[in-house]
Amino acid sequence: MQSPARKHFARVSAAQSAGTADPGRPQTGEQYELHAAALWEARRTLKGIKSTEQKIAKKRELLPEFDAYVAGVLDAGTGAQDDVIVTVMLWRLDVGDLGGALAIAEYALRHGLDTPDRFERDTPSIVAEQLAEEAMRQLEKPYDGTDEGRAHAANDAAELAMYLSRAEALTRDADMHDPIRAKLHKALGYAERARGGHAAEALEHLKRALELNDRAGVKKDIERLEREVKKAGAQANA
């Protein structure tokens, strides 16, 4: 584990290198080389683990090693191609750190950073799809059914809706396959529904998901939400 002094040095050095790099060209500099080497070792470690659950746990353990470097790049980077921060973004998605992943995604998408060669999907597609899938996993977690549990679940859903809305805005103009964008709208719809009091917004997103992919699996939820919205409207006009 890095000391606070080493973390500060890594952040400042990374910011200096990233701030003077040529946009679109490969990132260079001592801190990049050090963290690229650390990433290579980390990936080699992960390849030796068969369990997906254990891989995710290992990524969660390894990620703090890259925090100072990533912070430096985000502070001052000019958009050089940087496989380290893009990989860290994807790992943050894998471990459920959606806020941390989006911080990098905003930088990566603003500067048009590509995913490393080993990934088949482009950056907007992978951000949209992985964030939507992780949000759905979190939304499907059971809660204890108490008033406190329901309130906690609603707060979690509101946070997920915020992250998903940011991702939708960031990738809105990107060219991607319709089923991927449908996943994002489906997750947004379920998050809006789960937070409570946002049936109309949820319905809008689920309808958009169905437009993009008629096998999105949202038809029954759309019907339920339409009845809910209609009932709420009737009560409001009574």
Question: pLDDT category, 143, cuts 50, 70, 90?
Answer: confident
Is the pLDDT reported for residue 39 higher than 90?
yes
Supply the pLDDT for residue 2. 65
Region 175-189: mean pLDDT is 97
pLDDT, tens digit (0-9, with 9 covering 90-100), for 11-38: 888 788 888 888 888 898 888 999 999 9
Poorest-pLDDT segment among 21-30, 59-68, 84-93, 101-110: 21-30
Mean pLDDT of 93-108: 95
Measured N-to-C along each axis, helices 123-139 and 98-111 cross at an angle, to the nearest 10 degrees, of 160
Residue 236: pLDDT above 70?
no
Q: Report residue 103: phi and psi, to 5°.
A: -60, -40
pLDDT at 132 over 90: yes
pLDDT at 110: 94
Average pLDDT over residues 180-198: 94
- Residue 6: per-residue pLDDT: 79
- Set out the domains of the chain in order of their start, with CATH numbers: 1-114 (no CATH), 120-238 (1.25.40)
pLDDT for 1: 60
